[in-house]
């Protein structure tokens, strides 16, 4: 990338340098076990203690899907937050996003449930999707209203399960927040071309993760941009990073939601790269983006 195509904020550059020390640029060429080891080490580097007083409880849904419940000291809404982690459908766990989940729960003042969905390549489509939807359906069956949140691959899952909930007339989703989501863009135009060699995630990486996940091309729950109709979806917050091949997935989805009459807030972080959530204590831009995410989730949770 040229300098004009690279971030210049000091905090995000320091974040990228730390990431490079833990996660090789060619990690997708490593074994799955090695990739998960790299990712776990990287996540541990950016995992501060939970907010004071936060309690957690590990449970199972349908006796097979591990979930973790987060309860902050102050709970100001009955709406539950459902968090689906990123990691290309290949890496990530309850531990990888532990601090992020705790901080969102505390900032919003809401109980949050994180899902440890099955990973590829051991479990390809629709395993991760089915696990995520099963947890959402379980929460709604208990009479809860839910805001669904996901980052990257988790943003894909979040958008997909919200679409399925609408299609199944499952009432109870009061909002969705998609953080640099992978929504099924064409991999050849727009930001996929402009940011093909972006720091932190390349277009080749996106193709690799998509191939490993092995979802059927054009299935709207796996490729939400392929959905013919986006009407009737709940209020949506989408945030993307400018220096990210996935950027235009979020741009396009926000535009289509607005055209379909859905209430949508779109935010593009001008100096951010993929995975900037982890830079929230290193970068002013990431801190502002994280605060905006929490504010949007709080607004949707209280509206529910």
Side-by-side strand order, sheet with 173-179: 55-61, 65-71, 112-115, 80-84, 146-151, 173-179, 236-243, 264-273
Is there a catalytic annotation at residue 97? no
Q: Which entry of 116, 131, 151, 244 is annotated as an active-site residue?
A: 244
Distance CA 285, CA 271 (A): 7
Q: Which of 132, 152, 191, 283 is catalytic?
A: 152
Our answer to whether residue 138 is catalytic in this structure is no
Bridge partner list, 175:
147
Nearest CA to 104 among 139, 142, 160, 151?
Answer: 151
Cis amide prior to 36 (ω within 30 degrees):
no
Structure-token pair, residue 166: 């609408």
For residue 82, the SS3 value is strand
Residues linked to residue 65 through DSSP beta bridges, in sequence order: 61
Residue with tokens 């290309």: 88
Strands 112-115 and 80-84 come out as parallel
d(CA 150, CA 131): 14
What distance in Å separates the CA atoms of residue 14 and residue 30, rounded to the nearest whole number? 25
Beta-carbon contacts of 125 under 8 Å, excluding residues fewer than 6 positions away, are 213, 214, 215, 216, 222
Distance CA 129, CA 120 (A): 11
Active site residue 78: no
Q: Helix, strand or coil for residue 7?
A: coil
Catalytic residues: 152, 244, 274
């Amino acid at each position: 990338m040229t300098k004009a195509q690279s971030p210049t904020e000091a905090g995000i550059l320091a974040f990228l340098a730390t990431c490079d020390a833990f996660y090789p640029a060619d990690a997708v060429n490593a074994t799955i076990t090695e990739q998960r080891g790299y990712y776990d080490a990287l996540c541990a580097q950016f995992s501060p203690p939970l907010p004071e007083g936060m309690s957690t409880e590990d449970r199972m849904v349908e006796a097979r899907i591990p979930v973790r419940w987060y309860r902050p000291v102050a709970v100001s809404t009955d709406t539950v937050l459902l968090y689906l982690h990123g990691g290309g459908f290949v890496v990530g766990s309850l531990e990888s996003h532990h601090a992020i989940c705790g901080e969102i729960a505390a900032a919003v003042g809401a109980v949050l449930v994180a899902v440890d969905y099955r990973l590829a390549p051991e479990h390809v489509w629709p395993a991760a999707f089915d696990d995520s939807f099963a947890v959402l359906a379980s929460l709604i069956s208990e009479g809860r209203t839910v805001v669904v949140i996901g980052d990257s691959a988790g943003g894909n899952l979040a958008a997909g399960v919200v679409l399925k909930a609408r299609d199944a007339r499952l009432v109870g989703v009061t909002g969705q927040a998609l953080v640099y989501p992978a929504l099924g863009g064409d991999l050849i135009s727009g930001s996929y071309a402009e940011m093909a060699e972006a720091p932190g995630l390349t277009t080749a990486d996106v193709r690799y993760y998509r191939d490993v996940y092995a979802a059927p091309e054009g299935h709207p729950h796996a490729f939400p941009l392929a959905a013919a109709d986006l009407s009737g979806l709940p209020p949506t917050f989408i945030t993307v990073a400018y220096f990210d091949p996935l950027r235009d997935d979020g741009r396009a989805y926000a535009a289509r939601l607005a055209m379909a009459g859905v209430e949508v807030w779109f935010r593009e972080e001008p100096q951010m790269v993929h995975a900037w959530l982890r830079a929230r204590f290193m970068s002013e831009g990431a801190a502002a983006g994280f605060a905006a995410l929490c504010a949007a989730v709080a607004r949707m949770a209280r509206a529910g």
